[in-house]
Amino acid sequence: MIKRMPTSYGDVTLPACVVAGDYIFLSCHAGGHESADIIYQMEASFDSLGKSLESAGASFDDIVQINLYLKNIEDFRTARDVFYKYFKNGFPARMTTTTDFVSPPCLCMLDAIAYKQQNT
């Protein structure tokens, strides 16, 4: 069964997450654009990701793979250090890349794949 969660961006073509069986695909989590501080935006992005995980009955411990998109490679070490706040039981596989974003004040964005065995 496939279940699509609504987006918080007001764009129906961009669900916050899609649950497909035991897998949860999380897309386009960003936030905190009122501040140009990478730590603030990383925490807002993780908080958004956490809400989507919770809506699917999962947690950060269920993430098996995560992608971090940064506007500025110079922010890499600082952004990476924020992961320690959210992952207490080991880290998922991660890829980091740089990109320009549609929203100019956006400094970072996350997407992820989680695995949570569903009740059958």
Tokens coding 88? 């207490």
In angstroms, rounded to a whole number, what is the distance separating the alpha carbons of residues 59 and 39?
21
Instruction: Decide if 60 is inside a domain.
Output: yes
Q: For residue 99, is it within any domain?
A: yes
Q: Provide the CATH number for the domain around residue 65.
A: 3.30.1330.40
- pLDDT tens per residue, range 38-54: 999 999 999 999 999 99
Percent of the chain residues topping a pLDDT of 90: 78
In a domain, 120, yes or no: no
Structure tokens at 47: 């908080």
Residue 68, domain member (yes or no) = yes
Q: DSSP 3-state assignment of 46? A: helix
Mean pLDDT of 95-100: 96
pLDDT at 9: 60
Is pTM beyond 0.85 here? Answer: yes
pLDDT at 7: 63
Instruction: Say whether pLDDT at 11 is over 80.
Output: no
How far out from the chain centre does Cα 108 lie? 10
Domain count, the chain: 1
46: domain range?
2-115
Write down the pLDDT at residue 28: 87
Per residue in 13-30, pLDDT (tens digit) is 777 889 999 999 999 899
